[in-house]
Amino acid sequence: MSSLILDVKNYSKSFHLHEQNKVIPSSHDVSFQVHAGQLTALIGPTGAGKSSILKGIYRTYLPSAGRILYHSAHDGCIDLARSDEHQILALRRHEIGFVTQFLHCLPRQATLDVVATPLLQQGMRAELAQEKAKELLDAMNLPERLWHISPATFSGGERQRVNLARGLISQPRLLLLDEPTASLDPKTAEKVMGLIQDLKQHGTAMLAIFHDPNITQQLADHIIELSPPPAHTTLCQEKQIA
């Protein structure tokens, strides 16, 4: 049986609109687990709180309630909902990766440097980090003529290839994926799916949201279905994979 990497218990997130004196529920009482070498997918309609769960695990958002128990390779069991910022930053650098829907990078930073940055932060030599970045950008079908310029002027699909390469390059212990193939052409999306399968073989645990149900069925070992609450509750149940 694969080892437990992430155990989310009764996660909830609400957004407070102080100027309007309103509370908007997003996710409520959601529980699931993610294991090494497996991909767990979140599905459900817009408003069910899928992205807010990923951002709560990565600590872009502070959870409103619940526990997020992450089993670190070096520090044992950590509750991400209560960890201090220094510990969260260290985990992002060494163990937890997040591929969002949007690429954020320094202005005028060359694409090769954007992709190599996670390896440099881990102490890898610059020459080796750039070689690995070249290999991954080539696998993503990003033309070599774009490697030495900033991705700021790229198309949406090109930027997403850079975003994916940066997220995958360090082979994190836990990888969060928020619609990683949404703006990719079918050929590149197929390559990304192959890279995700490779990471599973490597032992990476993954929690993902996919826009295409067919990709979910092909890649997911477990599916967590969320539905928006009629009033204040997000329902959660696990679907069995045939």
At 128-175, the pLDDT tens digits run 999 999 999 998 889 999 999 998 888 888 888 898 899 899 899 999
Residues 73 and 88 in one domain: yes
The per-residue pLDDT for 15 is 76
Per mean pLDDT, which range of 127-141, 203-217, 223-237 is the poorest?
223-237
Residue 113 has pLDDT above 90, yes or no: yes
Residue 2 has pLDDT above 70, yes or no: no
Residues 2 and 88 in one domain: yes
Residue 23 has pLDDT above 80, yes or no: no
Residues 77 and 8 in one domain: yes
Residues 216 and 165 in one domain: no
> What single-letter amino acid sits at 9?
K
Residue 232 has pLDDT above 50, yes or no: no
Residues 82 and 107 in one domain: no
Residues 112 and 208 in one domain: no
Q: Which of 40-44, 73-77, 167-171: highest mean pLDDT? A: 40-44
Residue 192 has pLDDT above 70, yes or no: yes
CATH number at residue 58: 3.40.50.300
Q: Give percent of the chain above pLDDT 70.
A: 90
Q: How many CB atoms lie within 10 A of CB 21?
A: 7
Residues 159 and 179 in one domain: no
The per-residue pLDDT for 88 is 95
Q: Residue 202, by phi and psi: left (phi above 0), alpha (psi -120 to 50) or beta?
A: alpha
Residues 58 and 78 in one domain: yes
What 3-state DSSP class applies to 210?
A: coil
> What single-letter amino acid sits at 121?
Q
Asked, for residue 194, whether it belongs to a domain, the answer is: no
Residues 118 and 81 in one domain: no
| CA–CA distance, 98 with 112 (Å, rounded to integer) | 18
Residue 148 domain boundaries: 103-171
Residues 144 and 178 in one domain: no
The per-residue pLDDT for 56 is 94
Please classify residue 3 by burial: count the beta carbons closer than 10 Å to its beta carbon, then call 0-12 exposed, 13-18 middle and 19+ buried: exposed
Orientation angle between helical segments 126-139 and 156-168, nearest 10 degrees:
130
* Whether 141 contacts 105, CB under 8 Å: no
End-to-end CA distance of the chain: 18
Q: What is the pTM of this model?
A: 0.86
Asked, for residue 43, whether it belongs to a domain, the answer is: yes
Asked, for residue 195, whether it belongs to a domain, the answer is: no
Q: For residue 233, what pLDDT band results from cuts at 50, 70 and 90?
A: very low
| Helix/strand number for the chain, H first, E second | 7, 10
The per-residue pLDDT for 174 is 97
Query: What domain count does the chain have?
Result: 2
* Whether 73 contacts 90, CB under 8 Å: no
Residues 32 and 51 in one domain: yes
Residues 75 and 178 in one domain: yes
